[in-house]
Amino acid sequence: MDRLAIVVPCYNEEEVFPISEPVLRGTIDDLVSKGKVSEDSYVLFVNDGSKDRTWDLIEEAHKEHPKRVFGVKLAGNVGHQFALTAGLLTAKDMCDITVSIDADLQDDVSVIEEMVDKFHEGCDIVYGVRSDRTSDTFFKRTTAQGFYKVMSGMGVKTVYNHADFRLMSRRAVEAFSQYQETNLFLRGIVPLLGYKTDCVYYQRAQRAAGESKYPLSKMLALAFNGISSFSVKPISMILGAGVVMIIIALGVAIYSIVQYCLNHVEPGWTSLMLSIWFIGGMQLIAIGLIGQYIGKVYIEVKHRPRYNIEKVLSDDSEEK
Ligand code: UDP
Ligand code: MG
């Protein structure tokens, strides 16, 4: 039977914790009684350096339900992505399935069962996807959707309308742990892992209590981090701009020389016009070229694994 760990990053969530803790615990009890996960499954709360009573509440809950509620206390606030990573890597060696979910219950816990079913059908990664965002404010909705558009425009593979509500098998987390990069953007890395994946759909609810811990500034930082960690396209865009400028320079050259021959110009104008456009274009091309190398260095220093193995067939190996 497979042991399930629900991983929940919490930052200043004292208001919502008393609501979400019993719900998540209940979800596990339910799955256990249906025989879908093992009796020793648990919820792992990661306290991301909260300044309020969140950790005390986690400790109390652990005392009351020592077999169901586990906790990890990070030494300081490191942000949602790292807190979640800490939780996944802690859970990795003591479970077979992880499900990550936010503490605020905006994601529908009832689809966790569907996720587990898909795991049993052979999926290693199951994405929770919002089927609509009517519960979000207009602002959050448009900015978030713009974000997915820009990401895909930049060539970053992400799952549309999927946040960090997902199931990952133990070996998927194992593969993920090989990605050692510091600028971590989970939503970009998970699709790189490969393995059999699937989606489940749900309606996103309002926050159960408390306020969003993701103000616009953090969202913009997440977006920029996502793009700059996965794409060197902006560098190619500079190179492209340089080429465009040289083409314009050719047009300007023809125009200025014609004007010069027709004697329509002040002395010095022609040479100025020619130099400005050519030098500008050449400079952009030069920066773009250097950028290409820096982009390569950047990709190399990440030391990403080049592949993940799903199965090996050989004469003496058990099926892995
Ligand atoms: N969170 C975290 N560290 C932070 C900010 C947020 O662990 O620095 C957690 C937070 O407790 C919640 C999840 O990340 O469980 C998502 O945050 P929130 O619901 O505020 O974001 P939103 O849904 O508004 O985008
Ligand atoms: Mg939320």
Q: How far is the CA of 7 from the centre of ligand 1 (A)?
A: 13
Q: How far is the CA of 231 from the centre of ligand 1 (A)?
A: 25
pLDDT in tens, 46-55: 999 999 999 9
pLDDT band at 317 (very low <50, low <70, confident <90, very high): low
Residues 6+ positions from 243 with CB-CB distance below 8 Å: 281, 285
Residues 6+ positions from 196 with CB-CB distance below 8 Å: 122, 123, 124, 125
Q: Which ligand is nearest to the CA of 214?
A: 1
pLDDT in tens, 225-272: 888 888 888 888 999 999 999 999 999 989 988 988 888 888 888 888
Pick 175 or 208 by higher pLDDT.
175
Q: What is the DSSP letter of 157?
A: -
Which of 16, 104, 216 to probe ligand 1 with, by most ligand atoms within 8 A of CB? 104
**Given a cut of 80, is residue 214 above it in pLDDT?**
no
**Given a cut of 90, is residue 4 above it in pLDDT?**
yes
What is the pLDDT, as a whole number, of residue 154?
A: 82
CB 147 within 8 A of CB 160: no
DSSP 83-115: HHHHHHHHHHTT-SEEEE--TT--S-GGGHHHH
Beta bridge partners of 169: 97
Alpha carbon distance 74, 33 (integer Å): 32
Mean pLDDT for all residues in the chain: 88
Beta strands at 125-132 and 166-169: parallel, antiparallel or unpaired: antiparallel
Whether pTM exceeds 0.85: no
What is the pLDDT, as a whole number, of residue 185?
A: 84
Q: What is the dihedral of CA 284, 286, 289, 294, to 10 degrees?
A: -90
Tell me the two tokens of residue 29: 């009890």
Alpha carbon distance 271, 287 (integer Å): 24
Please report how the helices 17-33 and 112-120 are oriented relative to each other, as an axis angle in degrees rounded to 10. Answer: 40
pLDDT band at 318 (very low <50, low <70, confident <90, very high): low
Residue 79 CB–ligand 1 contact under 6 Å: yes
What is the pLDDT, as a whole number, of residue 114?
A: 92
Which of 214, 216, 218, 220 to probe ligand 1 with, by most ligand atoms within 8 A of CB? 214
CB 188 within 8 A of CB 154: no
Residue 24 CB–ligand 1 contact under 6 Å: no
Q: Which ligand is nearest to the CA of 80?
A: 1
Range of weakest confidence among 11-25, 74-88, 134-148: 134-148
Alpha carbon distance 50, 310 (integer Å): 38
Residue 48 CB–ligand 1 contact under 6 Å: yes
CB 111 within 8 A of CB 202: yes
Report the Cα 292 to chain-centroid distance in Å: 24
pLDDT band at 41 (very low <50, low <70, confident <90, very high): very high
pLDDT in tens, 50-102: 999 999 999 999 999 999 999 999 999 998 999 999 999 999 999 999 999 99
Closest CA to 12 of 102, 81, 144: 102
Q: What angle (nearest 5°) sits at the alpha carbon of residue 305, between those of residues 119 and 192? A: 45
Q: How far is the CA of 34 from the centre of ligand 1 (A)?
A: 31
Residue 87 CB–ligand 1 contact under 6 Å: no
Alpha carbon distance 156, 231 (integer Å): 7
Residue 103 CB–ligand 1 contact under 6 Å: yes
CB 124 within 8 A of CB 168: yes
Range of weakest confidence among 40-44, 123-127, 140-144, 273-277: 140-144
What is the pLDDT, as a whole number, of residue 43?
A: 95
Handedness of CA 279, 282, 283, 284 (dihedral sign): positive
- The DSSP H or E segment spanning 289 is helix 269-301
**Given a cut of 90, is residue 220 above it in pLDDT?**
no
Residues 6+ positions from 258 with CB-CB distance below 8 Å: none
Q: What is the DSSP letter of 276?
A: H
Q: How far is the CA of 11 from the centre of ligand 2 (A)?
A: 11
What is the pLDDT, as a whole number, of residue 32?
A: 93
Q: How far is the CA of 174 from the centre of ligand 1 (A)?
A: 24
Closest CA to 165 of 228, 99, 259: 99
What is the pLDDT, as a whole number, of residue 25?
A: 93
Range of weakest confidence among 26-30, 97-101, 186-190, 246-250: 186-190
Alpha carbon distance 193, 159 (integer Å): 13
